[in-house]
Structure 1
């Protein structure tokens, strides 16, 4: 092979992989990269962003442009948003937060819009070291409630760490509160033995007396909380010859608004049918028996309806505090202000019937149902049982066997 041929062969080998085209068609070239002017797009990423493989997050330039209209709500919507939750819960929550904020301002600390764990720790240390206005210590349970209200004041992800404060509160309970005589304030159990005594002292010839007797009978039979009694409407009671149906629209356990009826059978000691019918008759005479009106009303000393034009919070309804005062007043009139050292309050009408039923060996599940406790709640056995309520400690004091002034006969005998 000549040098020319070798060169030619080499030249052929160099083009063998090239694309062959017709002379009358232009060669195809790879497309050019298109350059986009301006900065590269910015993406909106948060800790809650979820993407699949190959998916791009939303871009900032795709954010909708809101107008003033998108932030305006009717006054009623603003009120509902600000007043969400039960009024009592809302007032307690806001009061706790206001006090924390006031303390922070006084101490030169920041409470809003965000705060630090150190600020919260220092505040609860202040509460544990100080005392309430009446001179008593803050109870550990109250402190735990305050902590929850303060921590939940801040958005999730920006909340101070409450775990340290919870441990502080538990140490405070064991090392300071209990040794200093602190104890959980419990209501006495107004068992049927004592309730009958209270009812016997009520003058049911008066309208106020008939109201209070019916109220006590319904509350005991329903195992009601005070506010649940105050919230009852006329239509929430249905009277039969053998008992009374009582309806609770919402309770502390059931906050979803799903109502519940309970039948309270009539009995010779409680006389719930007679007492409820008598009070409903009074409401008819007062022209206050409209089904949507409150069942228990504020009365004047003469038995007429009290004006409630200034009651902007509860309207025509009595307050839970008013129910409590009625119960305490009626118990005191019967000489049972205290039962075995515990105060009689409106909550006694919840603890009392539960105690009676447990003593009668009613199963826990049935007592939960009757008292509208949660299906797994231990409270009917742990917090609302007063096993010795029918034993009057004043009648069984062993010191009664000791003569007055300790003067036994042998002390006065002649030598």
Structure 2
């Protein structure tokens, strides 16, 4: 008996002593011992529990935490308690508020934002021990109503306009000149986003050691940027981008030098950091992360808001990813050629969309031979005199 007990899995917080039962042959099914009524097959090992706690991507946790803060702030403003345990009425009321007054223009948040809000609230409750809470039936009905209302109003998700070189030059006027650290960080977001065709989550993942400055034999300088690429939480090992634009090199080098003056340029530290309105650098948390993808997008939108006469007020940081394809298309490159040049897309679907936007901005024909073929299909003109004659000779039957 003692030898068998020594081979049992350890449970640190077992409330009662282990009780062993005999293995009983029940129709060739062996029934194992029970642990004070608790089936060990339903209990996670400590290692498994620890693995599950860290299994979710960090950026997903950050997004949910940010959404929870928005919900908690709304509750505080309306004399409510967010929980957890969150009441069903609070979640329904908050989603109703977003449905009516959320979004960029205050006419209602998109369906994706409502789903994210509900998921974040339920996730916070699950982590607090309230699994599958609050009930989502009523909230889901509101989300379906929003989807139906948007469909009737023909409100579809809009792609961010491409942020090409001309728009970047314009946005540079919207950086905060009175706080150098913020100014050069924001310029880094612009130039790295454009040159590496980076999504906001990919920009947030940059570290100091993602940037390497090199001097070539002819004396020119280049910057090599290592970017891990992500899509739907699947991260690749990434690729390198060689940048020889002197403006981009100067921007990133200046920003890193400012971080170095603060003792914050160690290789493992995040490149993009949160900065307070007074210009103080925010500390790196234990998770080792800097700005989130959402924070990168907010910084970009602040530049848009501060830039006078900017022609794409609905732009987001994702437009930086489309900038190079748009510029290359305006120079005459086809979507297939742009794919080969950039090596960032595996199909021409999105590249063609970006290319058309670039051609429209350049005032060029973006339809090519396909449209020329359709234009060649000419219907003979209508014989107006014959039509008038037939109309005059017609008389309705009495």
User: Normalising TM by the smaller chain, what interval?
Assistant: 0.5 to 0.7
Q: CA deviation at 1:265?
A: 2.9
Q: CA deviation at 1:191?
A: 1.4
CA distance in 2, matches of 1:360, 1:66: 73
| Secondary structure in 1 matching 2:226 | strand
Q: CA deviation at 1:292?
A: 0.2
CA distance in 2, matches of 1:213, 1:249: 21
- Structure 2 counterpart of 1:60: 29
Cα distance per residue 1:165-186 (max 9 Å; x no partner): 9xx97x996x753332412133
- Structure 2 counterpart of 1:360: 331
Cα distance per residue 1:70-109 (max 9 Å; x no partner): 63422x642431453324446778999xxxxx99988xxx
Gaps of 5+ in 1: 1-38, 43-58, 97-101, 107-122, 154-164, 392-415
Cα distance per residue 1:123-155 (max 9 Å; x no partner): 9xxx99x94563856756678999999xxx9xx
Question: Contact 2:209–2:267 (CA<8 Å) still a contact in 1?
Answer: yes
- Aligned ranges 1:205-354 → 2 under 5 Å: 206-240=180-214, 241-252=220-231, 255-266=234-245, 271-300=247-276, 303=279, 305-308=280-283, 315-339=288-312, 343-354=314-325
Return closer, same or farther for 1:191/1:148 CA change in 2, 3 Å cut-off. same
- Aligned ranges 1:4-403 → 2 under 5 Å: 42=27, 59-61=28-30, 71-74=43-46, 77-89=48-60, 131=99, 134=102, 139=110, 176-200=149-173, 202=175, 203=177, 206-240=180-214, 241-252=220-231, 255-266=234-245, 271-300=247-276, 303=279, 305-308=280-283, 315-339=288-312, 343-364=314-335, 367-368=338-339, 375-376=346-347, 378-382=349-353, 386-387=357-358, 388-389=360-361
Return closer, same or farther for 1:377/1:280 CA change in 2, 3 Å cut-off. same
Question: Contact 2:57–2:233 (CA<8 Å) still a contact in 1?
Answer: no
CA distance in 2, matches of 1:90, 1:360: 42
Cα distance per residue 1:196-226 (max 9 Å; x no partner): 1222554499232222222211111111111
Question: Contact 1:191–1:352 (CA<8 Å) still a contact in 2?
Answer: yes
CA distance in 2, matches of 1:142, 1:302: 31
| Secondary structure in 1 matching 2:243 | strand
| Secondary structure in 2 matching 1:239 | strand
Q: CA deviation at 1:300?
A: 4.4
Question: Contact 2:162–2:323 (CA<8 Å) still a contact in 1?
Answer: yes
CA distance in 2, matches of 1:361, 1:253: 32
After superposing on structure 2, the runs of 4+ consecutive aligned residues of structure 1 that deviate more than 4 Å are: 63-70, 90-96, 102-106, 130-133, 135-149, 300-303, 365-374
Question: Contact 1:83–1:90 (CA<8 Å) still a contact in 2?
Answer: no
The RMSD of aligned alpha carbons is: 4.9
Cα distance per residue 1:355-408 (max 9 Å; x no partner): 2223334454565577775523622334786343457xxxxxxxxxxxxxxxxx
CA distance in 2, matches of 1:104, 1:286: 45
Question: Contact 2:243–2:249 (CA<8 Å) still a contact in 1?
Answer: no
Question: Contact 1:352–1:386 (CA<8 Å) still a contact in 2?
Answer: no
CA distance in 1, matches of 2:329, 2:33: 64
| Secondary structure in 1 matching 2:192 | helix
Moved more, 349-358 or 77-86: 77-86
Cα distance per residue 1:333-360 (max 9 Å; x no partner): 3225552xx5122112122233222333
| Secondary structure in 1 matching 2:190 | helix
| Aligned length in residues | 294
User: In proportion to residue count, which structure has more helix?
Assistant: 2
| Secondary structure in 2 matching 1:178 | helix
